[in-house]
Amino acid sequence: MKFKVLGSGAGIPSRTRNTQSFVLDVVEEINQYFLIDTSEALQHRILDTTIRPSKIRHVFITHLHGDHILGLPGFLSSRSHQGGEGIPLIVYGPPGLEEWIETTFRTSGTHLNYAIQFVEVGNGDVFDIEGFKVSVQLLDHAIDSFLYVFEEPDKPGALKSDKLREMGIKPGPIYKQIKSSKTFEHEGIIYNTCDYVSAPTAGRKVAVHGDTRVIRHKDYLDMLEGSDLIVHEATYLHGEQEKAHLYYHSEINDVLFNLSQISYGQLLFSHISNRYDAEMVRLVEEQLPSGIKLAHDFIEITIPRDSQ
Ligand SMILES: [Zn+2]
Ligand SMILES: [Zn+2]
């Protein structure tokens, strides 16, 4: 599982930062990509990667500000001609998204050659996507903006074949039968399967924020607890906490302090304003503790199992 940054900027694109688009690469797990936010130039960014649009089956929109959605109509339209024919797509997002896309397609005469479904999201929604649990939480922004938390299912433990061999049970279809039932019988004795299977591996958890003020309530922090990767905005990189609050955004040190109350694996700050020059960004990066990074376009973060 990997997290790829296609756009790390805030508000307005710069030469080095596109506005917000991310990809959660779950190709190894379920052979597809989750696309999160769809800024302008998303298509061009994708062309500079090995990502195939046909493998994007689920899109998650955090909120309807232009720097997060203006690339969606173009992406959806091009996908028809980039191997996406007949491969359905589901778009999750706030109310109003479907209406905007329908209007854009109607007025521009755009037709798709695959089925598209829009799912309106709201606070507290939970979706099951091919075994992944996706939870939605309302954030605190000038318009409704959402956090998406992606949780991979736990991986069942492996059969302890050494132990079974010692008992005289040789490998074969019987192993599959043992694994799929709670108990098994051998030479007239009933055994509990759990004693012959190693502990399951915990699934990974990735939390991706839309634009937001720092949120301090317990339910929100509980939702983030134990994340392997948290992606949070840091529109303000240095001081100006009051200004960040006024404009419904976050200041980096305030986020760090807030998240210090929970345990997590890695933290990635994105939505970086182009008011900060490269030198300033470098200075901030130098001071970040290990496991905490500032996003740049095209960086990729590997999310190992048991990263905490
Ligand atoms: Zn934004
Ligand atoms: Zn916004």
Place of tokens 């606070």: 123
Right CATH for 2-155+201-302 from 3.60.15.10, 3.30.460.10, 3.40.1280.10, 3.40.50.300 = 3.60.15.10
The radius of gyration of the chain's CA atoms, rounded to the nearest angstrom, is 22
Share of the chain above pLDDT 70, in %: 99
Pick the closest to residue 259 from 292, 281, 287 (CA basis).
292
For 30-48, the pLDDT digits (tens) are 999 999 999 999 999 999 9
Q: Check whether 232 is labelled as a binding-site residue.
A: no
Domain regions of the chain by residue span: 2-155+201-302, 161-196
Give per-residue pLDDT as tens, 195-246: 999 988 899 999 999 999 999 999 999 999 999 999 999 999 988 999 999 9
Q: What is the CA(283)–ligand 1 centre distance, in A?
A: 23
Over residues 138-163, the pLDDT tens digits come to 999 999 999 999 999 998 889 999 99
42 C-alpha to ligand 2 centroid (Å): 17
Q: Contact at 8 Å (CB) between 117 and 144?
A: no
Q: Is 68 annotated as a binding residue?
A: yes
Q: Please report which ligand is nearest the Cα atom of 146.
A: 2
Q: Are 142 and 248 in contact (CB under 8 A)?
A: yes
Pairing mode, strands 292-294 and 300-302: unpaired
pLDDT one-digit tens code per residue, 112-121:
999 999 999 9
Residue burial 100-120, b: 16+ Cβ < 10 Å; e: rest = ebeeebeeeeeeeeeeeebee
271 carries a ligand binding annotation: yes
- Find the 206 Cα to ligand 1 centroid distance in Å: 20
Give catalytic residues, as residue numbers.
67
Looking at the CA of 271, which ligand is closest? 1
- The yes-or-no verdict on residue 76 having pLDDT over 80 is yes
Mean pLDDT of the chain: 96
Question: How far is the C-alpha of 58 from the C-alpha of 1, rounded, in Å?
Answer: 16
Asked if pLDDT for residue 308 goes beyond 70, the answer is no
How far does the centroid of ligand 1 lie from the alpha carbon of residue 64, in Å?
9
φ, ψ for residue 139, nearest 5 deg: -100, -160
63 marked among binding-site residues = yes
Cα–Cα separations (whole angstroms), residue 282 to 94, 104, 277, 296: 35, 40, 9, 11
pLDDT in tens, 262-298: 999 999 999 999 999 999 999 999 999 999 999 999 9
Which ligand places an atom closest to the C-alpha of 270? Answer: 1
Could you tell me the pLDDT band of residue 307, with boundaries at 50, 70 and 90?
low
CA torsion 72-75-80-86 (nearest 10°) is -60
Residue 84 has pLDDT above 60, yes or no: yes
Tokens matching residue 256: 């760090």
pLDDT at position 156 is 85
User: Measuring CA to CA, which residue among 129, 119, 3, 123 is closest to residue 61?
Assistant: 119
